[in-house]
Amino acid sequence: MEIKRLIRKAAKLVLSSSPEKHVSVTVAQVAAGSLLAGRRVVVTGGGRGIGLAMAKRFASEGAFVCISGRNKESLKAACAQIGTAASYVVADVRDVEHTAKFLDECERQLGGKVDTLVANAGLSLHEGHFSNVTIDGFDAQFDTNVRGSYFLAKEFLERCLRATNSSGNLLVVTSETGDQAYDTPYGMTKAAMNSFVRAASRRVYRATNGALRVNAIAPGVTLSDMTAEYADASDGNMYRNCASGRIFLPEEIAEVALFLLSDASKCISGEVIHTNAGNHIKAFWDGANDE
């Protein structure tokens, strides 16, 4: 992986003495301090990348956060970054038979009912073309991105509906690929979860007088371990040759997630919020020089 990045950088230097464009980013924050005060939040895949950035931001706004993942050491290190409001549970979202036990353990760690679930754990194998897709690779992505997220979301929503206080927030992290045409598994899984989010909201929002909400965030290419193979901003350049013109930071996604989980967005449910500056949108002049 490191060799590939070095080759790309070397090629860039050979082709040009300077990058085609240079994009720098400053993360703007919602100024408050207690937007999620007292909330009990579970973030799957919270040990790194977007999941960790969200967990940090939620904790900074007063939430108690329980992160999950398969690597205990990564989770411990992440909790050290988040602070005393953080705890962790080692779990694999693909283990759907034990979803109820997983949430039970999260509630034990958090000291009460989980009122917010962020289904963030995901897997992409970057096949590039359907001819490169294997049966094992297909199953691995659907098991994680659809089956795992679906049954965890289902268990969470059912618990909220059974509770005396049915309030809660489900936030699913999908992808801009979910609203694009894809013949490889990752985009197909995200399209499936976008559909689930829209339908599930219709099931629960009105039934709970708006107390239980379901939304999704659909990031564009964001700096993380998942995108390290083709997104590298180690030189400070956030440029990317796409409609949005740049790569995004996990902290930017976290700010949008914070808003969607806060009471400021009570009228928003059933939405897939794209955090990609419209990169998924096809304009009639696409393919021409639009600068």
Between 13 and 285, whose confidence is greater?
285
pLDDT over threshold 90, residue 8: no
- The tens digit of pLDDT for each residue in 119-143 reads 999 999 999 999 999 999 999 999 9
Predicted local distance difference test score (pLDDT) of residue 124: 95
Q: In this structure, what DSSP letter does residue 234 have?
A: T
Predicted local distance difference test score (pLDDT) of residue 224: 67
Predicted local distance difference test score (pLDDT) of residue 231: 56
Q: 236: left (phi > 0), else alpha (psi -120 to 50), else beta?
A: left
- H runs (alpha helix) in 185-247: 185-204
> pLDDT averaged over the chain?
89
CA atoms of 17 and 200, how far apart (whole Å): 52
CA proximity to 272, closest of 208, 209, 220:
220
pTM for the predicted model, two decimal places: 0.85
* Mean pLDDT of the 132-156 span: 98
pLDDT over threshold 70, residue 82: yes
Q: Is residue 164 very low, low, confident or very high in pLDDT (cuts 50, 70, 90)?
A: confident
Q: State whether CATH 3.40.50.720 applies to domain 29-275.
A: yes
Predicted local distance difference test score (pLDDT) of residue 282: 82
CA atoms of 18 and 31, how far apart (whole Å): 37
- The tens digit of pLDDT for each residue in 186-229 reads 999 999 999 999 999 999 999 999 999 999 999 998 876 765 56
- The tens digit of pLDDT for each residue in 21-48 reads 776 767 666 667 899 999 999 999 999 9
pLDDT over threshold 80, residue 233: no
- The tens digit of pLDDT for each residue in 51-68 reads 999 999 999 999 999 999
The residues, ordered by sequence, that sit 6+ positions from 111 with a Cβ below 8 Å of its Cβ are 40, 64
Q: Domain-by-domain residue ranges, the chain?
A: 29-275
CA atoms of 239 and 25, how far apart (whole Å): 10
